[in-house]
Structure 1
Amino acid sequence: MRILVTGTAGFIGFHLARRLLRDGHEVTGIDGLTPYYDVTLKHRRHAMLRECARFTCNEFMLEDAQALNNAFTQCRPELVIHLAAQAGVRYSIENLDSYVSANLVGSYNVLEQVRQHGVPHFMIASTSSVYGANRELPFTESQRCDHPLSLYAATKKATEELAHSYSHIWKIPVTAFRFFTVYGPWGRPDMALFRFTASTLAGMPIDVYNHGRMERDFTYIDDLVEAVRLLSAKPPLRAGESDPGASPVAPYRVVNIGNSQPVSLMTFIRAIEKALGRPCICNYLPMQPGDMPRTWADCSALMALTGFRPATSVQDGVAAFVAWYRDYYGIPAIA
């Protein structure tokens, strides 16, 4: 199959593209290589993907509509998976322009190309952050998401709504998947696991917000990739399908992807300490603006559609990340 993936130099896009290539697909990747974090890491990911002859690499911003049209015309995709976005809850408070440009304008440009090229299935990445101020747990796809707590969440919810409108008007099958705190090897340096690992190995303290009284539904990267891969073969074909996230008026559905097991932040830190073989020095701080105190995914829809449910434990996932981190940065394990 010919598949176009945006964000292939990013954490999730890299892992997904690598899996699709291993499955024998032709993958066209697009990434703007923005300096939000260490661009060297992004170049390394793309370099690894380039080792496969079935990977076509494009490096430009999605705001460049002409370059995007050229990539679509050359690829003629049978499936588009849109992962590229400006990420980060806290960063969005200081740099809103980049979120409006990448997440709204960029996503609009992708949708236009999907419409013009008649793509049979469009998949768009969303986030658990869209659940915002909802207090009913676990989060289910049928819940309203009208009270985002961060500007990042607001732009991601807006892209969901934009995709729904395209699906309704032009009958484009759309799957929006909301993922919950994804982590693993080749992860983002701005995420807690990367920062906590780097700081602890350097003997530096880590900032623990809300005094550690937080819970996250941590999802290992391989589980997320498997879920997306399986969902790609299940496009919504008509409006009003029976799953909780299905639209009553469009061939559109929303699907949660998470472990369905909230883990406390302090338990997560203990797993890091175990994998590193040394304690973390915790600097306890108040809650940050825009943060959610707890996330928890109801993944019954994912299970019903695919027969798959993420299940990698935090202990195993953190250990895999730490092993990768030591190897990537040449840091030997403690004997």
Structure 2
Amino acid sequence: KSLTIDAEALIAHYALGEIALIEKNSDQALFHYLTIIDKDSTQGTAYKGVLAAYELNTDIQAGIKKIQSLTSEHPAEATPLAVLAEYQLRRDNIEAALPLAKKAIVLDPSLSYAVKLNELIHYQLSVKQLAAKNFNAARQSLGVALKSAPRSLDFLKLQADIEIATSNHNQLEQVLVIIDEHHPNTGLANALKGDSLIKQQAYDAALSQYQTAWKKQPNDRLALKISSLLKRDGNKVAQDEFYGDWIQALPNAIEPYARQAQRANAQGDRPLAISLYEAALLRQPESLLILNNLAWAYHLENQPRARLLAEKAYKLAPENVAL
């Protein structure tokens, strides 16, 4: 508030608008953001500020109407339409977001903000269509995103997921070549190849692909797949070796401890299970899974710490009936 500013400077209005939002003064925030738009109707952050000011009053619909009225005042400006599209997308309202983004691009094809939004909208639409097993629609929606961002790792992975779901092996191989060419160190091409082989019940070949991916970029998701396949083979030595690799590669992971603890419990070695759960808890003190399982193990050993852990788990998630 002690700032001395030139009232004509947009940066000053931005600063004061942000301060007003922090102070929950919606009227002042709205004044500053509308002043910015009046001086420069391309300022996307200012339109977002208008929406934020109305949200302070829990009247977002009035905010949307205000942005819509600004589009009428600036009919050649694509930015407010793109801001509305982003707002709807953030609320998972793809049906409302899509036509707004399209209209923004028609008004200004060079507006990268709108182009990126259009990509993301079609990507998320494709994700939903794939989940609904509407494969042709999913492929078509994703094609729009890929057209402007053909090397996007997220988009390429989704394309591979579609080809795996439809057992389109030839097309999948083409996608994997592109992923491996442009994102060679991610291991994603190998991981996706493994997913395809799992669907074909070629488990040994899938394990080999997952292990190759693990060497390139270890992560918990890969580790779970490798661990499950090793368990399926019944090779306890290989399982234990991989649990060690997992812990070394991802020191904060709790799953290797939890899986070993579950096996120890099944074999009647509760003290070992407890020590493993305790090691996991040191790494993630608020893990509901570990708190719950360790509390139960303590309870079976008549240890008073059981109640303390059970209460902590309950306080973290009182709505979880399993706790």
Q: Give the TM-score band, short-chain normalised.
A: under 0.3
Per the normalisation by structure 2, the TM-score is 0.25
Give the structure, 1 or 2, with the largest relative contact order (CA under 8 Å, sep 6 or more). 1
Q: Which has the higher strand share?
A: 1
Per the normalisation by structure 1, the TM-score is 0.24
